[in-house]
Chains A and B, each alone.
Chain A
Amino acid sequence: MTSVTTETGSPKRRLGDLVFANTTRAAGVTILVALAGVAIFLTAEGLPAVGAKAPDLKGHSNLLTYVAPLVFGTLLAAVIALVIAVPLALGVALSVSHYAPKPVAVGIGYLVDLLAAVPSVVYGLWGIGFLGPRLIPVYQWLADHLGFIPFFDGPASNTGRTILTASIVLAIMILPIVTAISREIFAQTPRLNEEAALALGATRWEMIRLAVLPYARSGIVSAAMLGLGRALGETMAVAMVLSASGVVTWDLISSTNPSTIAANVALTFQDATGLQRNALIASGLVLFVITFVVNFAARAIVERNDPGKAR
């Protein structure tokens, strides 16, 4: 045993250990390289589109005016989806963590996992073949009675393939991730805080409002932002459900809808040629940057307020 220690006292590194340690480190660095590679290769293939002219940009004069309406549509669809999904997700998460008895909660958790397992193209199929047609009378009613609100200006679509339908499908798709993260945070609320609130005579809702929600606030924010990230980048459901014409409008229920970056790429890439494909890749780069920033911020919030690290 004396020979394996050097003068500094650290054990001698064996060759096998050295090779193995460096292999694992290389694998880790590969991931970082891949992430950088996404940015680099998208930039390399997207740059030629900067000088593109109208014929390659669906009649837009430059790349900026080509991408801007798509960014608008992407943000609009994602934000509506978020507004629908977050309250539902919080309800489901609370039912699992604080309302349902244990066996029921496990069952609900399994159902939510099932919701996450359904492929996006199947959601698209369901949205276009089931949900859309059933929403036509609702849109008609909205246009007739609430038409004074800009969102429901109409005329109502007669196929149901509107941006509101797409957002509802998106909301269902981001529900599992928002639920999963909020549920985790809710379950981590210190038991003593909850019991203290109950001991002071708080009802269950008051206990949740006083002990659980303040504790989980940053977790809820980051869960919502991760959901937003998903909704921004979701492709197939929007591409299939939305009847897109690439306009900028606040009207959610008409048959002329803004398109989203992801859906636009999926719909037009196969038939595009030359610079058109470069322009699509450039729009993909914009989407990458937006989702990267949203996810980065969300994860940074989780990291900073990780309850596991705080105590």
Chain B
Amino acid sequence: MTDLATAPETHQHVPLRHPRLPAFAPLLAAGIAAAAAALIGMTLSWNLTGIVALAIVIHLVGLTLWSRTVENARAATDRLVTSLVWVALLIAMIPLVSLIWKVVQEGSPALNAKFLTWSMRNVIGEPGGIYHAIVGTLIITLAATVISVPIGLLSAIYLVEYGDQSKLARWIRFLVDVMTGIPSIVAGLFAYALFSILFGPGTQMGFGGGVALSLLMIPIVVRSAEEMLKLVPADLREASYALGVPKWRTIIKVVLPTAMGGIITGVTLAVARVIGETAPLLIICGGTDSVNFNPFHGQMASLPVFIYSSYTQPGSNPEILKTMAWGAALVLIIIVMALNLVARLAGKFFAPKRGR
């Protein structure tokens, strides 16, 4: 050791570790950037958006330069990208927060008992209710579910239990994926064209909305049910076959109950996805101010269409109807969120008991 230490310096000293910024460096940089931006923004009397944007820019530039001087260029790039990823996340979350805040703020004044139990029939110059729209939404969504679940579930059973890798099954799987991308308005136009040909031009009824929505719902049901059926262990099927149970009874008595939790979750999520669809209902169901319980006759109101028409064609009392539109939007969001929650709970509740 002493020899080495006293030996003449023949080659350059190479440190084993690069200098690193301390672990709290990004937070420190963010804090300084925020303070600097606030100072500059306030002296120039900018609004909050401008100050935040400036803070982000200062943070990005500052941290990168600091890292470049202390560490090296590669580490600086790494820190820049890390910051950019978090900034992207921040930007993506802004709309969600502001949207929920805005809907709650504008919609909550409209909520009361009358709002939920009255229709808009003969209501002029005062706030009415959205009972007719809630009824319509429930009937139309129920119709869509009644059509979609049997077709979707049976198709999923075919794909997993019978079709497997056959040509037909592969085409169905592929086209179901393509179908998830069908624009909702096209589904509405399809239902309109179908009903025009079947029942005469210009037919509008609630059931048509169910047909249009089922076109959007079936692919979601098929995909989620297929995934769930695939998760059922082959052991269970084989044990059932070994006992001499026919395949179809095995599917109904063993495979479906095992996958039931996941299937219910998938169906609930599919309902949540289509319950807020507006465009198809605008075309095939029309809109009305009265309660209509008959899905096979006459125009039928629905929550999304009510929101749209109240806000864009408010008539003589724009303020009242716009408040009602926000209120209806709040109700719709609450319904969708509740369905999402139910879906998650159902998945837990119906999950097969694992005895071992």
**CB of A2 to closest CB in B, whole Å:** 14
Q: Does A150 contact B (CB under 8 A)?
A: no
Q: Which A22-42 residues have C-beta < 8 A from chain B? A: 23-32, 34-35, 37-38, 41-42
CA distance in complex: A25, B81 (Å):
50
Cβ of A299: which chain B residues have Cβ within 8 Å of it? 174, 177-178
Interface size on B, residues (CB 8 A): 93
CA distance in complex: A307, B182 (Å):
25
Kindly identify which residue among B96, B181, B193 contacts A115, using a CB–CB cutoff of 8 Å. Answer: B96
CA distance in complex: A83, B325 (Å):
31
The answer to whether A284 touches B186, judged by C-beta atoms less than 8 angstroms apart, is yes
Q: Does B222 contact A (CB under 8 A)?
A: yes
The answer to whether A25 touches B307, judged by C-beta atoms less than 8 angstroms apart, is no
The answer to whether B192 touches A281, judged by C-beta atoms less than 8 angstroms apart, is yes
CA distance in complex: A46, B219 (Å):
25
Q: Does A113 contact B (CB under 8 A)?
A: yes
The answer to whether B186 touches A288, judged by C-beta atoms less than 8 angstroms apart, is yes
Contact stretch, chosen from A59-67, A123-131, A152-160, A247-255: A123-131
The answer to whether A129 touches B88, judged by C-beta atoms less than 8 angstroms apart, is no
Q: Does A232 contact B (CB under 8 A)?
A: yes
Cβ of B196: which chain A residues have Cβ within 8 Å of it? 45
Q: Which B141-182 residues have C-beta < 8 A from chain A? A: 150-155, 157-159, 161-163, 168-169, 171-172, 174-182
On whether A230 and B181 interact (CB within 8 A), knowing A24-B158, A204-B78, the answer reads: yes
The answer to whether B162 touches A25, judged by C-beta atoms less than 8 angstroms apart, is yes
Contact stretch, chosen from B32-40, B56-64, B246-254: B246-254
Residue of A nearest to B159 (CB): A28
Chain A interface residue number, banded: 35 or more
Kindly identify which residue among B88, B172, B218 contacts A92, using a CB–CB cutoff of 8 Å. Answer: B88
Kindly identify which residue among A45, A108, A115, A291 contacts B95, using a CB–CB cutoff of 8 Å. Answer: A115
Cβ of B115: which chain A residues have Cβ within 8 Å of it? none
Kindly identify which residue among B151, B184, B186, B279 contacts A27, using a CB–CB cutoff of 8 Å. Answer: B151
CA distance in complex: A26, B192 (Å):
25
**CB of A200 to closest CB in B, whole Å:** 12
Q: Which B186-228 residues have C-beta < 8 A from chain A? A: 186-187, 189-190, 192-194, 196-197, 202, 215, 218-219, 222
CA distance in complex: A34, B172 (Å):
12
* Chain A 215-252: CB-based contact to B (< 8 A → 1; otherwise 0): 00000000000100110111110011000000000000
CA distance in complex: A240, B322 (Å):
13
On whether A233 and B185 interact (CB within 8 A), knowing A16-B249, A41-B197, A123-B99, the answer reads: yes
Q: List the interface of chain B (C-beta within 8 A of A).
A: 49, 74-75, 77-78, 81-82, 84-89, 91-93, 95-96, 98-99, 102-103, 106, 150-155, 157-159, 161-163, 168-169, 171-172, 174-187, 189-190, 192-194, 196-197, 202, 215, 218-219, 222, 246-249, 251, 272-273, 275-279, 282-283, 286, 304, 307-308, 311-312, 325-326, 329, 332-333, 336-337, 340
